[in-house]
Copies of this chain bind each other. A is one copy, B any other.
């Protein structure tokens, strides 16, 4: 269980297979975000049909509502939301820092007030792991602290705390049917990132996450940090870049050696009428689409593009019909997942290098890094 089979490489890019109790994951893979045990507006049947294989859910939100004990009693997250394929939960740390009110952090953990009802709660590494064991995802995350990339002094403090918390997370984790991933921090400082990557890689985690990126640093900083970190990671464990990303970020991340991604961007932009396409982004509210009989993207094979015109989608948007969000979510998720599938195929075929420039040209204009952040949190969709 939780072995990673490296099937092919091209440069730093990898194609592989990660074995989980709910099936084998082909990597690289993009995970839609289902914060409250649902990928907004979509049934599991629709998610399956659009090609999703891994779904992320947020520990902070599920702990508050409906509660991890309730989810456990209902048979765990897979059974509760009826997603039969692999799942991943984060540690809750990121939301405690970004969403909760009046948090107080110490070396033992974090005390915070719920954004739902103001009640007081405390997360520690031990508590986060216990909650994630109740939720029962295939991949769970060590409790960590993400630092502001511009606060270099604090980046070291947060990194060192993250390392101690990684060890505590490991030591209390009991479920053999869950892969606990460690998280690398270190802000935008290469020496910290190298140290963190080496430390986390030295612990017996079956997979390794790269945290603290796509949180306000520049694109160059993100690329540099990825390059630095990947050098220090073993080949036989999957690498997960948390909260990323845009189509462009996926191409950049995969070519640098990342295997797993998640982001709220495709579903959040869908609910703001925006559609990714291989010719740039469309805002389907635009009056120019009122009589446009074409699908969003003529090259796309999703249900939305195989079925509906831009004119109809615009009508749904203008008429404030909820179906618009469903149909655009189907398209945007399918677009990202299909892009990742195409990249994986090109790694297996050995054609990646030739194809990347074209993909970057095609997908660059679709979204900016950080764009998902116009709500409070790019990592969850509450």
Contacts and interface: CB of A to CB of B under 8 A. Distances in A.
A33 to B, nearest CB: 13
Interface in A275-293: 290-291, 293
* Contact-residue bracket for chain A: 35 or more
A323 B73 contact: no
Contact of A74 (B45, B73, B75, B291): B291
* Protomer copies: 2
B43 A327 contact: yes
A290 B36 contact: no
B321 A36 contact: yes
A45 B75 CA distance: 30
B325 A40 contact: no
B38 A74 contact: no
Interface in A30-71: 36-38, 40-46, 65-66, 70
A65 B70 CA distance: 45
A9 interface: no
Contact of A66 (B37, B40, B66, B315): B315
Contacts of A41: 322-323, 326
A82 interface: yes
Contacts of A322: 40-41, 322, 325
A307 interface: yes
Interface string A73-94: 1110000111000000000000
B303 A43 contact: yes
26 contacts: A36-B316, A36-B319, A36-B321, A38-B321, A38-B323, A41-B326, A42-B323, A43-B323, A45-B307, A65-B318, A66-B290, A66-B314, A66-B315, A66-B318, A66-B319, A70-B290, A70-B311, A73-B291, A74-B291, A75-B293, A80-B311, A80-B312, A80-B315, A81-B312, A82-B312, A319-B382
